[in-house]
Structure formats: structure tokens, C-alpha cells
Amino acid sequence: MSRTITSKSKKIIAAFVTAILMTGCAAGGNAETRLINQVTDGVEGESNEIQVRNLLVVKQVDGTGVLIGTFINWADDGDAISSITIDGQPAVLTADSLELKKNTPITFVGDIANADASVANMTALAGYRIPVVVTFTRAAPINFDALILTADGIYADIENMRFKAQPSNL
């Protein structure tokens, strides 16, 4: 019994081969799209189960540097932010609490801001990156290479987006 490949069979085989070739990825675990870490101007980091998202610094006209970012603790055990330094300067921290309870974010700047961190005299220029170090009571410190942005565009009204309260006693 001889078999012949019909034109319908050829089309099915061609479609199958095309689908395999178009969806296959030879890069595997090293695919460029899998290795993207920074999708916004802000940087990300983590220590133990504390994750930091979209951390950056906005430089205001008066030279003040304002930290932006969100901190989330995924661990059952709580932790707390003990200090933040921005470009080597200790930041003034303001919050009702710097405790990182499970799934209760601490947000610096924005509609849901519940904390504030700033330094008075930033000499670094917008567009450059500066070191930001965050220490915790339990978790290891996180070192960031944070971008400096100017207080314009979405940050033009940053003063009104900051958390207002009495400075915490750290």
C-alpha cells in the first residue's frame, strides 16, 4: 500500500512547522525579555521577604531630595525601616509608623503615601544615579543605585503628594 502526501496534508505540516518555529525561543532562561528588571524610572530590590518597588529620588528646585517608592513585607514576621540614606546623607523620616507588617505597604509619595523621606541639600544633578541605602531592624540592608528626576511633569506637584505628620523618633 503506497501513501501519498496530499496538498491538505502538506498545508497541515507547514502550519505545524511554522507554529513551532514562531513560538520557539532558543534563549530559554536567558531570554532578553525575561531578564528585564527595571520597567520604570524607579529601581527595585529585596531583602528577605521585603520588596521595594519603583524607588527613585525627586530633586526639587530648592535642592531637597524626596524619596519615592513602595515597601512591602511578604513575611509573617514583621520588620521595620530603621534608616534611609540618600547620597550618603541621613534622610529625615516622617511616618505614623515605619513598621512593615505583612502585606501592609509603606508608600513614600502619592495618593496613598503613609511615609516621607527627604534630604535637605542634594548636590547631585537630575539624570544621574545616586546611592540610596535602606536599613531594617531584622532584614539585611538594601543598596540601590537610584535615578534622580526633577520636580516636573508628574512630579511637579510633589510637595502636595508627600505624607504630612510629625517626624518619627528614630
Residue in this structure with the C-alpha cell 519603583, named with its chain if needed: 54
Domains, in order of start, for the chain: 42-161 (2.60.40.1890)
Is residue 26 scored above 70 in pLDDT?
no
Least confident of 6-15, 48-57, 74-83: 6-15
Angstrom distance (rounded) from CA 42 to CA 49: 19
d(CA 7, CA 37): 47
Q: Under DSSP, is residue 38 helix (H, G, I), strand (E, B) or coil? A: coil
Q: What's the N-to-C CA distance of the chain in angstroms? A: 88
Spatial separation of the C-alpha atoms in residues 123 and 57, rounded to whole Å = 12
Q: Indicate the residue type of 41.
A: D
Q: Which of 28-32, 100-104, 139-143 has the lowest mean pLDDT?
A: 28-32
pLDDT the model gives residue 6: 75
Q: Is the pLDDT of residue 91 over 90?
A: yes
| Closest to 132 measured CA to CA, from 70, 67, 72 | 67
The answer to whether the predicted template modeling score (pTM) of the entire model surpasses 0.85 is no
DSSP structural state of residue 100: E
